[in-house]
Amino acid sequence: MKMRTVNKQTTTVNAMSVDVEDYFQVSAFEPIIDKSSWDNLPHRVVANTERILELFAEYDIKATFFTLGWVAERYPQLIKKIVEEGHELACHGYQHIRVSEQSPEQFRADVRLAKDILEQISAQSVIGYRAASYSINNANLWAHDILCEEGFAYSSSIYPVKHDLYGIPDAPRFAYQPLAGKAFKEIPITTLKFFDKNIPCGGGGFFRFYPYRFSKWALNNITRQERQAAIFYFHPWEIDPDQPKQRGITMKTRFRHYLNLGKMESRLRALLSDFDWDTMENVFIE
């Protein structure tokens, strides 16, 4: 775990991450938006990601960008800009297909394709992976073996919570080695232990749902009381309240996707100011 000393006071450095995908690629929209239509929809991922890069530059933050191969293939200049500005480039699979919907052979092909695209464009090694919708679970832990075999050093694909779409509630809450005798790491999304339950506090929709003061308190608890580095994640579409609104979705999906999008950037600014951040690689691997 990385520590930083400022004015003689040692603070924990946390890992900031962005899952680079467009608004129409989220798993919740799969029933109404077919992948074959993606190229015909308005793309907003470049402008939103560039806005995030500007925000990080303003606060002198380096982060990890878990990027879809599909996005990289269409917008190679965006990938080059991420790398040129000193951020870590990592893999989010090719087409945002959940691991729980793939066979081991399909999964290997997917991550190999995405990794190759990212490395060809960036001219550097890609060692980190994050599954679509945190879809590594107890039924497909074979994914760790495949990721290690394909040259990844870590995964950040498990959320140790109980959720209707994902999660392994009893998984370790902090970075661990899931493969005996191998240095490969799984780095779970951050949770706060509350009695016998893990409370999500690592970003995404939960960050938009909770008042910011709760998120700040929870992360302070992780870093100061448990003395662990936290992970935060969000998506480019979460700073975009003007994105096209989808029809035909459930009330639950509508609530989860669109809640407080207009407040996200101001909350991010508070988060970047209140805590120290760096890349996944720098915090957990180096």
**Neighbour-count burial for 106-115, b at 16+ CB within 10 Å, e otherwise:** ebbebbbbbb
Indicate the number of domains in the chain.
1
Note whether 97 and 131 are within 8 A (CB): no
Domain encompassing residue 139: 3-285
Give which of 128, 133, 180 is closest to 284, Cα–Cα. 128
Lookup: tokens for 42: 């308005």
Give the global pTM: 0.95
Note whether 62 and 282 are within 8 A (CB): yes
| pLDDT computed for residue 98 by the predictor | 96
Q: What are phi and psi of 11, to 5 degrees?
A: -125, 155
| pLDDT computed for residue 110 by the predictor | 98
Note whether 23 and 245 are within 8 A (CB): no
| pLDDT computed for residue 5 by the predictor | 53
Q: Which residues contact 266 (CB under 8 A, 6 or more apart)?
A: none
- Structure-token match 């960008």, residue found: 65
SS (H, E, C) the chain: CCEEEECCEEEEEEEEEEEECCHHHCHHHCCCCCHHHHHHCCCCHHHHHHHHHHHHHHCCCCCEEEECHHHHHHCHHHHHHHHHCCCEEEECCCCCCCHHHCCHHHHHHHHHHHHHHHHHHHCCCCCEECCHHHCCCCCCCHHHHHHHHCCCCEECCCCCCCCCCCCCCCCCCCCECCCCCCCCEECCCCEEEECCEEEECCEHHHHHHCCHHHHHHHHHHHHHHCCCCCEEEECHHHHCCCCCCCCCCCHHHHHHHHCCHHHHHHHHHHHHHHCEEECHHHHHHC
| pLDDT computed for residue 8 by the predictor | 40
What is the C-alpha to C-alpha distance for residues 34 and 28, in angstroms, rounded to an integer?
12
What CATH number does the domain containing 72 carry?
Answer: 3.20.20.370
HSE, CB side, 13 Å, CA atoms: give it for residue 153: 11
pLDDT by residue for the chain (286 residues), tens only, comes to: 776 654 444 589 999 999 999 999 999 999 999 999 999 999 999 999 999 999 999 999 999 999 999 999 999 999 999 999 999 999 999 999 999 999 999 999 999 999 999 999 999 999 999 999 999 999 999 999 999 999 999 999 999 988 767 789 999 999 999 999 999 999 999 999 988 899 999 999 999 999 999 999 999 999 999 999 999 999 999 999 999 999 999 999 999 999 999 999 999 999 999 999 999 999 999 7
Q: Which amino acid is at 125?
A: S
